C-alpha cells in the first residue's frame, strides 16, 4: 500500500456564483521513503493540490470537487477536523516557500518548535527544549544552544527555512510536503537546503513531495516526477525514465527553461506564452496554443493518457513521437 495515494483529485474555486475547475483529475502515489517531484509553471495548481492533501482549504473559496486522498490507507476527505489535526504536523507536515509567513515573528524560534512538539507529543517543557536544540543542530544551524532563543528576523532567509524544516520534522512525519521550499533563496543557499532535505530523508526515511517550478531542482532530488500543466498531469515517470525519453512537449519546454548552454539551438527558448487563467476555456489539448508541435487534432481533441513505459505516461497525441 502506498503511503499517499491521490486518485483523480479535482479542485475548483467558487467565483461569481460559479465553480471554476483548477485541478482537473490528477492521480499519483508516494511510497514510504520515496520522493515525488511535482513540477510546472506558476498557476498550474501545484499549491492547491498540496493544500488539499494537507486539509488546509477550509474557509477559502477553494473546494475539492472529486476524487480521493488516502494517507496510510485512510481516506483523508472523510476525517473530521480533530482527526485531521491529529495527523497534520505529526504524521504529515508541510513547508512553504516563504518561511516568514509560517514563523511567528513575535516568538523565539525555540519556543515555536517547543509549542509544535508539545501539541503533538506528551513531552515536558524541558525535554521539548532539548529536542528543539537537537533539531536545530540536525538542520545545521550553527550554535543551536544560543540560536534557539533567536527571533525569526534575527536569522537569514536560508536559516529560517532550516528552522521550518526542523519544525516540520519535529514529530518525525512519514510524509513531508515541501512547496517551493527554496524558491525564495539564492542559488547557493538553495542547494544547501536541498542537500539538507535529501540528507535528512536518507537518515529519517521521510517520504517527500517536492513542489517546484524548476525541473532542475526536481531532477536532482526526486525518485519520480509528475509534470503538471493547467490542473492536469502532462507527463509522469521515474526521473531516469523521464530524462531517457521525454514524452511531452511541455516537459521539454520546462527542461529548456533551465539555463544551460550545452543544448540544441532550436530549443534554447523557454516556452512562449503563459499558463491560461482559470476562467479561460481551451478546446483540445490545453497546451496546444503554446506547443511547437501542435497539429489539428491537438486543437480539436483532448489527448488521452498514453503509456510510454511501465510507469511512464504522457497526455500528448504525439507522445510516442515526442520521445526522441
Taking the C-alpha atoms of 107, 110, 112 and 115 in order, what is their torsion angle to the nearest 10 degrees? -130
Nearer to Mg ion, 47 or 257 (CB): 47
Contact of residue 60 among Mg ion, ligand ADP, none (CB under 5-8 Å per partner type): ligand ADP
In whole angstroms, what is the distance from residue 219 CA to residue 225 CA? 8
Nearer to ligand ADP, 42 or 145 (CB): 42
**How many whole angstroms separate alpha carbon 197 and alpha carbon 112?**
20
- The footprint of ligand ADP (CB under 6 A) covers 13, 22, 40, 42-48, 60-62, 278
Residue window 43-82: x/- pattern of binding to Mg ion, with contact defined by CB under 5 A: ---xx-----------------------------------
> What's the rounded Cα separation, in Å, for the pair 242 and 238?
6
Residue 183 in the binding site for Mg ion (CB under 5 A): no
Spatial contact of 30 and 3, defined as CB atoms under 8 Å apart: yes
Map residue 35 onto helix, strand or coil.
strand
Largest CA distance in the chain: 68
Q: Pick from ligand ADP, Mg ion, none: which does 285 bind, CB < 5 to 8 A by kind? A: none
Taking the least distance from each CB to ligand ADP, the nearer of 33 and 289 is: 289
Quick one: what does residue 43 bind among ligand ADP, Mg ion, none, with the CB cut-off 5 to 8 Å set by partner type? ligand ADP
**C-beta nearest to ligand ADP: residue:** 47
Nearest distance, CB of residue 255 and ligand ADP, angstroms:
18
Helix (H, G, I), strand (E, B) or coil at 8: strand
Report CA Rg, the chain: 21
CB of 102 to ligand ADP, least distance (A): 16
All 3 cell numbers of residue 115? 509549542
Site for Mg ion in 8-47 (CB under 5 A): 46-47
Residue 48: contacted member of Mg ion, ligand ADP, none (CB under 5 to 8 Å, by partner type): ligand ADP
Cβ at position 295, least distance to ligand ADP in Å: 27
Closer CB to Mg ion, 27 or 47, in the complex = 47
Give the SS3 label for residue 25: strand
Closest to ligand ADP by CB, 41 vs 241, is 41
Length of the chain: 324
CA distances from 95 to 47, 56, 67, 103, 114 (A): 11, 13, 24, 11, 17
The residue ranges that bind Mg ion (CB under 5 A) are 46-47
Amino acid at each position: 500500500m502506498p503511503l499517499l495515494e491521490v486518485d483523480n483529485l479535482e479542485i475548483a474555486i467558487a467565483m461569481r456564483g460559479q465553480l471554476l475547475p483548477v485541478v482537473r483529475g490528477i492521480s499519483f502515489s508516494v511510497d514510504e521513503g520515496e520522493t515525488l517531484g511535482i513540477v510546472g509553471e506558476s498557476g498550474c495548481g501545484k499549491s492547491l493540490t498540496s493544500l488539499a492533501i494537507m486539509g488546509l482549504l477550509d474557509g477559502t473559496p477553494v473546494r475539492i470537487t472529486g476524487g480521493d486522498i488516502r494517507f496510510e490507507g485512510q481516506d483523508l476527505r472523510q476525517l473530521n477536523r480533530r482527526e485531521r489535526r491529529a495527523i497534520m504536523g505529526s504524521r504529515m507536515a508541510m513547508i512553504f516557500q516563504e518561511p516568514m509567513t509560517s514563523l511567528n515573528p513575535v516568538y523565539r524560534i525555540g519556543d515555536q518548535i517547543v509549542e509544535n512538539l508539545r501539541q503533538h507529543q506528551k513531552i515536558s517543557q524541558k525535554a521539548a527544549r532539548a529536542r528543539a536544540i537537537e533539531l536545530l543542530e540536525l538542520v545545521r544551524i550553527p550554535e543551536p544552544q544560543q540560536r534557539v532563543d533567536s527571533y525569526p528576523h534575527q536569522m537569514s532567509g536560508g536559516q529560517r527555512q532550516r528552522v521550518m524544516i526542523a519544525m516540520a520534522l519535529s514529530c518525525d512525519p512519514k510524509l513531508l510536503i515541501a512547496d517551493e521550499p527554496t524558491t525564495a533563496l539564492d542559488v547557493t543557499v538553495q542547494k544547501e537546503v536541498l542537500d539538507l532535505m535529501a540528507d535528512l530523508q536518507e537518515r529519517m526515511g521521510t517520504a517527500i513531495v517536492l513542489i517546484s517550478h524548476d525541473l532542475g531542482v526536481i531532477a536532482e532530488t526526486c525518485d519520480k516526477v509528475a509534470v503538471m500543466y493547467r490542473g492536469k498531469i502532462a507527463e509522469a515517470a521515474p526521473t531516469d525514465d523521464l530524462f531517457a525519453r521525454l514524452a511531452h512537449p511541455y516537459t521539454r519546454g520546462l527542461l529548456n527553461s533551465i539555463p544551460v548552454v550545452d543544448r540544441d539551438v532550436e530549443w534554447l527558448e523557454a516556452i512562449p506564452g503563459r499558463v491560461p487563467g482559470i476562467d479561460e476555456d481551451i478546446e483540445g489539448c490545453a497546451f496546444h496554443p503554446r506547443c511547437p508541435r501542435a497539429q489539428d487534432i491537438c486543437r480539436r481533441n483532448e489527448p488521452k493518457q498514453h503509456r510510454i513505459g511501465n510507469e511512464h505516461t504522457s497526455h500528448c497525441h504525439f507522445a510516442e513521437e515526442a520521445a526522441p
